[in-house]
A and B are shown apart, each in its own frame.
Chain A
Amino acid sequence: MARIGDILNGLGAKRFGLSFIALVLILGLVFWLRPNVASYNGLRLLLNLSPVLVFTALAQMFIMTAGDIDLGIGTFVGLVDCIVAGLLNDQPALALLMLIACPLAYGLMGALIHWRQLPSIVVTLGASFVWLGLALMVLPLPGGTVPATMTGLVRLHPPFVPMPIVLAVIPMVIVHLILNKMSYGVVLRGLGGSLAAVERAGRSTLKARMILYVMAGVCGLCAGLCLAATTTTGDANVGRGLTLVSIGAVIIGGGEFVGGIVSPIGTVFGALIMQLSGSLLSFASVPPAWQYSIQGAILLVILALRVITGRRRVA
């Protein structure tokens, strides 16, 4: 037993524990209301769109690691979606070039924020207009076509574990290893924790912030690719709602706004909670009008619980 406890501690279970309990609870309720869902195909369909939210939340988490907030990630995901649906079939070279440029643009945005010491919340807000505008230029009206190889990829049937869960676990493990196991991860988290400490340790804070932003861009890129592959269409406005949900996912997962305190595992749990709470409410035949309300209430209850369990001592 002691060893299991050690392993949990090593993973930072104290931070994501509450989100794990909430996820199990919600999943239990879903299974109880709809026993059919508790199967390979049931889960596959239920979590159809969850990879999009998982990747978007991880992108947001990288930005929040730096102590920043990204109000443009949703429209960025929409831009990737539009590039895939609008260009990839007809002009593959241009589309690939643009897709590669997307995360790099994020890195440049991070550099600008760092260099001019700008508030990230407004720079990313301004950038959201840029992403939306570019998406509209690439694909003025919703539609387009997504290459069959991509749609086939998300429809893979791996043995035993449905694809959406594979697409949740793999990024979770990779990001956990990068942030919590690699030695450079300390520098990345340190950026949000104490900029001065990182600087005095002789590390470039500019480089660290750019790396965090590029990684956020890569996650946003993956989210957009999953979105295009799942919906098989492009729509410039499709991603807008993702931004605020992604912030919610990071916070539910044990992350904090102060920077440096995030949990990749908790963030993925948080994303799944946000995704499942919608399904749960429709399974429980809650009228659509009240679904937003209850989603908001779930968010508030989880956060209020964190205060009661006494983990948040920072005012």
Chain B
Amino acid sequence: MNKLEPGRLLAQPWFYATAGAILVWLVILTYSGGAGGGAVISAALNYSIFFAVVGLGQMIVMASGAGNIDLSVPANITLAAYLSTGQMEGANAGLVTGVAAGLGSGLAIGAANAFLIIVFRIPPMVATLASGLVLESLTFVYSRISVAKPAPLLAEFTTGQFFGLPYVTLAALLASIGLIYVLRRSIFGRSLFACGQNTTAAWLSGVEVVRTRVAAYVLCGMVTALAGVLFAGFVGGPSLNMGSEFLLSSIAVVVIGGTNVAGGQASVVGTWSASLFLFLLLSMLNVFQVGPGLRNVITGVLIIAVLALNRTNRMQQV
């Protein structure tokens, strides 16, 4: 890594999200008179990991090029949550098959999305919107014929803590470090960014464009499904609308985190920071007892403000 000078720091894609998160944390800390700062962080890490993980999946898809986006995320989360906990039925014996079922559905969803987008050349936004609708039906039918209850071990893993750091957060942080390495050094990561910057140029220079794009959607599908399984454990069981709040937030954390929606670049650190930022922001507004109306207005204005400040998000001038 290069040395970070002040000017370079400002130019880092993840800078504004991280600065925002720290700022909001300091405000909460000041308000509470310095008490409970660690507890706030711990709660933020435990809760925002789900948004961060889903955001990382979305980030990989968005990095694969302009217009690439996965709107089937909420339906994917809900279906994976039902399928996995439906296998577990509240017992540890079903843990492995349950997690496998969830991941399997995520893999299938990602592959189906990629198929629609690449073979039928349907714009990603509409293809994933439509596949999400189909998944919603499947989930609804399955939810009525299954006993969906997470295994105790899964619940323990998602809520338990190790020196104040939740297990699930530790695991996700380790996986994220792995992801940073994959994006920076591996052939997949390089191909992904090459496709995102210019698909034609990438293809001409011998990048396996189709394979890379399929991998991006499959990876996003699996990561999202995993988040769904974990979230079901965290909240004690799936519900039909558990995924809905992830649709907008998965896009918001990626872009606030400094990933360019035009593709070709991504920031894992930024996505994490943005998840923390959004969660801490909501905590802060709760602490100040701001009503739901004003809370939404402030959230919206801050999302736009962070975006307007951040340079990496500029669309290329044609």
Contacts and interface: CB of A to CB of B under 8 A. Distances in A.
Contact of A128 (B71, B291, B294, B300): B300
A134 B131 CA distance: 32
B314 A307 contact: no
Interface residues of A, number: 49
Contacts of B291: 136-137, 140
B3 interface: no
A299 B132 CA distance: 12
B261 A122 contact: yes
A72 to B, nearest CB: 9
A126 B126 contact: no
Interface in B250-265: 251-252, 255-256, 261-262
A129 interface: yes
B123 A251 contact: yes
B293 A136 contact: yes
B137 A136 contact: no
Interface of B: 67, 69, 71, 116, 120-123, 125-127, 129-134, 136-138, 140-141, 144, 199, 248, 251-252, 255-256, 261-262, 291-304, 307-308, 313-315, 317-318
Contact of B126 (A140, A196, A299): A299
Contact of A118 (B123, B130, B307): B307
A292 B293 contact: no
Interface string A23-63: 00000000000000000000000000000000000000000
Contacts of A244: 71, 129
Contacts of B317: 117, 195
Nearest to A137: B293
Contacts of A131: 300
Contacts of A3: none
Given A122-B255, A248-B126, A257 B248 contact: no
A121 B136 contact: no
Contacts of A307: 120-122
Nearest to B255: A122
Contact of A122 (B127, B130, B251): B251
Given A112-B308, A125-B252, A304 B297 contact: no
B195 to A, nearest CB: 12
Nearest to A290: B137
Given A129-B300, A137-B297, 14 more contacts: A122-B261, A125-B252, A126-B299, A126-B303, A130-B300, A130-B301, A132-B300, A248-B126, A251-B123, A292-B133, A293-B133, A297-B134, A304-B122, A315-B199
Contacts of A138: 293
Interface string A243-267: 0100110010000110000000000
25 contacts: A69-B125, A71-B248, A71-B251, A112-B308, A116-B308, A116-B314, A117-B317, A119-B255, A121-B261, A122-B251, A122-B261, A127-B304, A129-B303, A133-B298, A133-B299, A134-B293, A135-B293, A136-B293, A140-B292, A251-B123, A292-B134, A296-B134, A300-B130, A303-B127, A304-B122
Contacts of A130: 296-297, 300-301
B137 A122 contact: no
Interface in A263-315: 289-293, 295-297, 299-300, 303-304, 307, 312, 315
B299 A129 contact: yes
Contact of B315 (A117, A140, A291): A117
A195 B297 contact: no
A165 interface: no
A64 B5 CA distance: 41
Nearest to B72: A296
Given A71-B248, A112-B308, A133-B293, A300 B300 contact: no
A303 to B, nearest CB: 5
A119, A127, A130: residue with the most chain B Cβ atoms closer than 10 Å:
A119
B137 A291 contact: yes
Contacts of B126: 247-248, 251, 299, 303
Given A126-B304, A293-B136, A300 B297 contact: no
A18 to B, nearest CB: 14
A123 interface: yes
Contacts of A231: none
Contacts of A119: 255, 261-262, 307, 313, 315
Contact of B296 (A129, A247, A251, A292): A129
B216 to A, nearest CB: 16
Interface in A85-128: 112, 116-119, 121-123, 125-128
Contacts of B261: 119, 121-122
Contacts of A289: 137, 140-141, 144
A9 interface: no
A42 B195 CA distance: 52
A135 B292 CA distance: 10
A137 B122 CA distance: 39
B123 A196 contact: no
**Which 9 A/B pairs are nearest by Cβ-Cβ distance?**
A133-B296, A129-B300, A296-B133, A293-B137, A137-B293, A126-B303, A133-B297, A136-B293, A130-B300
Contact of A296 (B130, B141, B297): B130
A194 interface: yes
A307 B292 CA distance: 45
B122 A126 contact: no
B300 A126 contact: yes
A36 B274 CA distance: 55
A163 to B, nearest CB: 29
Contacts of A121: 69, 251, 261
Interface string A197-233: 0000000000000000000000000000000000000
